[in-house]
């Protein structure tokens, strides 16, 4: 199989397994998605989905969010971890959205990245999932799988994103990044990985990895 055929095999297999991948984080608009993605850093989607209903019951838009204190936000979001930094970020970005953007989340990656506590991955998720702009946010699952599938060097997430965007058709990016996440969780996890269940890695993966896992 050449690289082009490998990429096609990945696309076809993921499409078969996950024809309609849902967005993992519960949200109702760009603002609640932005807050949820920010909270998910070094946490799990399941944990974030337990906490956001409590937070959004008190404040689900930037105007009501800045009526809370940082301390109040922090108390609510404590279970997701890194709460001091995240509370500061949520309060700070909400204030900027009110003052600079009429309370709306800007559909612009650079504007998003300039907000407190919003990195490139968070901004990419919002562009993709809230605004439908083709993006390829790279999380730990995508980074791991692109390496296992020998489609990227695994050097860093910046390189992985470049490779993903180069190899996969732009019109598939928004769906594909979700499909890869679901596949990674189910068939190709970091721990407890069973190569026999991981048909994509078994078929297109790095020879060195397959030999190591099979021996």
Domain ranges of the chain: 3-21+136-214, 30-129
Residue 91: per-residue pLDDT: 98
CA 197/CA 202 separation, integer angstroms? 9
Residue 137's pLDDT is what?
Answer: 97
Q: Which of 6, 60, 121, 163 is catalytic?
A: 121
In this prediction, residue 215 carries a pLDDT of 63
Contacts of 74 (CB under 8 A, 6+ apart): 83, 84, 86, 87
pLDDT value of residue 212:
78
Q: What is the pLDDT of residue 213?
A: 76
196 is catalytic: no
Domain 30-129 has CATH 3.40.630.10: no
> In CATH, what is the architecture of 3-21+136-214?
Orthogonal Bundle (1.10)
Check if the beta carbon of residue 167 is closer than 8 Å to that of residue 151.
yes
Query: Residue 81 and residue 18: Cα distance in Å, rounded?
Result: 30
- Entry field: residues in the chain: 215
Reply yes or no on whether 207 is catalytic: no
Catalytic residue among 139, 165, 207, 212: 139
Helix axes 173-187, 157-167, angle to 10 degrees: 120
pTM of the model: 0.94
Write out 73-107 in H/E/C secondary structure: HHHHHHHHCCHHHHHHHHHHHHHHHHHHHCCCCCC
Per-10-residue mean pLDDT of the chain, 215 residues long, equals: 96 98 97 98 96 98 98 98 98 98 98 97 98 97 97 95 98 98 97 95 92 74
Q: What residues have CB less than 8 Å from 143, skipping those under 6 apart?
A: 152, 154, 157, 160
């Amino acid at each position: 199989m050449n690289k082009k055929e490998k990429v096609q095999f990945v696309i076809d297999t993921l499409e078969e397994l996950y024809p309609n991948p849902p967005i993992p984080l519960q949200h109702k608009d760009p603002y609640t998605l932005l807050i949820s993605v920010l909270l998910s850093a070094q946490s799990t989607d399941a944990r974030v989905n337990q906490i956001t209903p409590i937070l959004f019951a008190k404040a689900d838009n930037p105007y009501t969010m800045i009526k809370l204190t940082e301390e109040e936000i922090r108390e609510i979001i404590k279970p997701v971890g890194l709460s001091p930094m995240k509370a500061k970020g949520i309060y700070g970005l909400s204030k900027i959205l009110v003052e600079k953007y009429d309370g709306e989340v800007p559909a612009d990656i650079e504007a998003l990245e300039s907000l407190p506590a919003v990195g490139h991955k968070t901004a990419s998720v919002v562009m993709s999932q809230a605004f439908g702009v083709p993006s390829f946010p790279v999380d730990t699952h995508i980074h791991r799988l692109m390496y296992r599938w020998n489609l990227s060097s695994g050097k860093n997430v910046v390189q992985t994103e470049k490779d993903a965007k180069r190899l996969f058709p732009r019109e598939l990016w928004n769906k594909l990044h979700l499909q890869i996440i679901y596949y990674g969780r189910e068939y190709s996890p970091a721990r407890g990985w069973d190569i026999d269940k991981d048909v994509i890695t078994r078929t297109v993966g790095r020879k060195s990895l397959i030999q190591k896992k099979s021996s």
